[in-house]
Structure 1
Amino acid sequence: MNLEDINVFLQIAAAGSLTSAARLLHRPKATVSHQLRRLEEEIGAPLFIRSANRLVLSDAGAEFLDHAHGIRRACERGLDSARAGLEKAQGTMRIGSTGEFASNLIAPLILHFARHNPELRLELSVVRSDLLLSSRENYDCLLYLGDPPMPQVSEMTGRLLGRFRFGLYCSPGYLTRRPAPATPADLREHELLAHQNAENITLWELRNGDEEYSLHPHTRLLSNDYWVIKLSAIHDHGICFMPKFFAQHEVEQGLLCRVLPEWSSRQIPLHVLFSSHRLRNTQISDLINSLTQNFSDLQTYLYTATAKTDYFR
């Protein structure tokens, strides 16, 4: 029995379709279909039936599901035990990450870890939060921005890596055309640059001590990419709400300035999640230690092509 075929079966069971499973596995749909057929031929029974445009487990598939999970967990435990005595990390480590700030938050931390583990092959996949959780078993660990939803991750171990806050920013040029807001309520009279995650516009939740203010930004410029939002703010298109570490370099260069600086978001956490049975995996613990130790240095990391200095310890 092929372990990769079992992995395909588990992903289809989680995703509910061949198309979704193929996208999450980064494989052609035909390959995923072939692997499923091969497993079904070996078992001697269909593992899925089609219902309302979804693939649902057949009786045989439901019976096999727990065993398939057990087979994969046993292989992972064996691999973790075999690698425990190695002096240097080797093999392949698969890391899944949510899409927000992957290039600015996740990538610098992972690249630092890769530099100090040259014999370890790293595969970093960046996907939407909902898709990441549905494909979590494809990865050795997940880097999840925000509070992980329960009970989807109840079987996983979570470690907090660090926290950061959002602030309000615009360009000096924008403030030559419009007076700076004096209160959060004044934001409703300004041109706002908003972020959209999947189908929802990100709510601006502001705090100043014990005071709180929430705003559903009404905007004529909406993007699911914070780089687009930041570039729009730099070019005088309005006020944006983004992480302080993400805007710090532009503030220092005079391209952006803080708006209502006493108001900011709550602290946003970044967690690493991994299956509880992987606790013996020293590579995961080394990654967690590296990410935690270097998280605060993101405040000084430059994201330009000429910034080749290793700012991390």
Structure 2
Amino acid sequence: MMSLREIKYFLAIAQEGNITTAAQQLHMAQPPLSRQMKNLEENLGAKLFERGHRKIQLTEAGCVLRNRAEQLLKLMDTTVKEIREIESGAHGTLSIGTASSSGVTILPKVARIFRSHYPDLKFELWEGESIRIIELLNAGLIEIGLVRFSFDADTYESIQIPKEPLVAAIHKNNPDFLNEKQDVIPLRKLIDQPLMIHRKYEALITEHCQQAGFNPYLLCKSDDIMPILAWADADVGIAIVPKAAIGLIPSTNLVFKTLSDPCIDVASAVIWMRNRHLSAAARHFLTLFTTINKDPLLLDLP
């Protein structure tokens, strides 16, 4: 076995072609350096140098060792650089889980800014409903999750994302809304309308409808936003979804109306495990998210 020190000593002699000069470069005396090289030759069972009066020449075995030694040192330097880049957050892969609607709104904008600072970083995205994101986080498959419901604050740390309103996705041929030109409609306009909702919003929507003086007609409850948007596109009923869901499906049939009197706002958050080590990349990403949360206008900068 060769030590890293022996490799460096050997390369110094090979580059200088003179053991005295190599010893000076290495800041050591010549006799110890000569002994190191003699021991190296004995351990390898091969002669590495042809010692002349003025200049040391490498044997064939010495030339092979020089090529390999240079490659080894280069590989070591590259490895150290990569490790430092990973620790600095400039290299590696960041795994993020996101609820469907969040994944197509705020996350891409944050990722664009983040990538401008860390262009060599890669992403791995996992998409699903909030329950699925929690499962992935608990399993350690992702470091950061974007979720849309309450979570255990003792288990997860979080950054709250500004609330967004629920909107009604209405087919353009719905006779009750053909003449509705406003982008905002009162909640009472949904009396007796067949509503399709995400199951997690049932209590919230029911409570606000009752505040407006009626019980909602819940035609369909789903664990995913995409199917109820597709059903609304087919004119089965009206889908009630977060505003961020606008554009999730390509459609020329749907118009979206923000609900008011009362407005129904939903909360979301970026979460991560409280007592789990985060990579440097994840820490940098959360720092950026915090900055943007304080100044949302950053998302609109070129």
Assess, with a 3 A threshold, how the Cα gap between structure 1 residues 138 and 259 changes in structure 2: closer, same or farther: closer
Q: Answer yes or no: is the 8 Å Cα contact 1:170–1:259 preserved in 2.
A: no
1:126 aligns with 2:127: yes
Alignment of 1:41-120 (within 5 A): 86=88, 89-97=90-98, 99-105=99-105, 107-109=107-109, 111-113=111-113, 115-116=115-116, 117-120=118-121
* Cα separation, 2, equivalents of 1:246 and 1:123: 22
- TM-score, L = length of structure 1: 0.50
Identity %: 15
* Aligned length, in residue pairs: 210
Using a 3 Å threshold, how does the CA distance of structure 1 residues 84 and 93 change in structure 2: closer, same or farther? closer
CA distance in 2, matches of 1:84, 1:213: 57
Tell me what 1:190 maps to: 193
Q: 1:295 to 1:246 in 2, by over 3 A?
A: farther
Q: Which structure would you say has the larger Rg?
A: 2
Where 1:108 maps in the other structure, the secondary structure is helix
For 2:265, the equivalent position in structure 1 comes to 266
Secondary structure at 2:90's aligned position in 1? Answer: coil
Partners of 2:146 and 2:114 in 1: CA distance: 16
Q: CA deviation at 1:192?
A: 1.9
Whether the aligned pair in 2 keeps the contact of 1:203 and 1:214 (CA below 8 Å) is no
Partner of 2:33: none
Aligned residue in 1 for 2:77: none
Alpha-carbon RMSD across the aligned residues, in angstroms, is 4.5
Task: Quote the offset at 1:139 in angstroms.
Answer: 2.4
Task: Give ranges in structure 1 of 5+ residues lacking alignment.
Answer: 1-80, 300-309
Give TM-score, length-normalised by structure 2. Answer: 0.51
AA aligned to 2:95 is: R
CA deviation map 1:20-71 (0-9, x unaligned): xxxxxxxxxxxxxxxxxxxxxxxxxxxxxxxxxxxxxxxxxxxxxxxxxxxx
- 1:174 CA drift (Å): 0.6
SS in 1 for 2:264: coil
Partner of 2:242: 243
Would you say the 8 A contact 1:114–1:122 is kept in 2?
A: no
Distance 2:115 2:280 in 1: 17
Q: How does 1:164-183 map to 2 (within 5 A)?
A: 164-176=164-176
**2: CA distance between counterparts of 1:100 and 1:225?**
8
Render the CA deviation track for 1:177-215: whole Å, top value 9, x for unaligned.
Answer: 7898x9756635222223346xx967525659xx56785
Q: Which runs of 5+ in 2 are unaligned?
A: 1-82
C-alpha distance 228-133 of structure 1, shift in aligned 2 (>3 A)? closer
1:81-102 Cα offsets, whole Å, 9 max, x none, are 966863x6211222233x3425
Output one character per residue of 1:216-264: Cα deviation in whole Å (capped at 9) or x when no partner. 6421x554442343344355443221122433899xx894142753332
Q: Is the 8 A contact 2:187 2:261 kept in 1?
A: no
SS in 2 for 1:278: coil
Determine the structure 1 residue equivalent to 2:285.
287
Deviations 1:107-161 (A, max 9, x none): 524642563232112112124433433442332222222221x2xx524322223
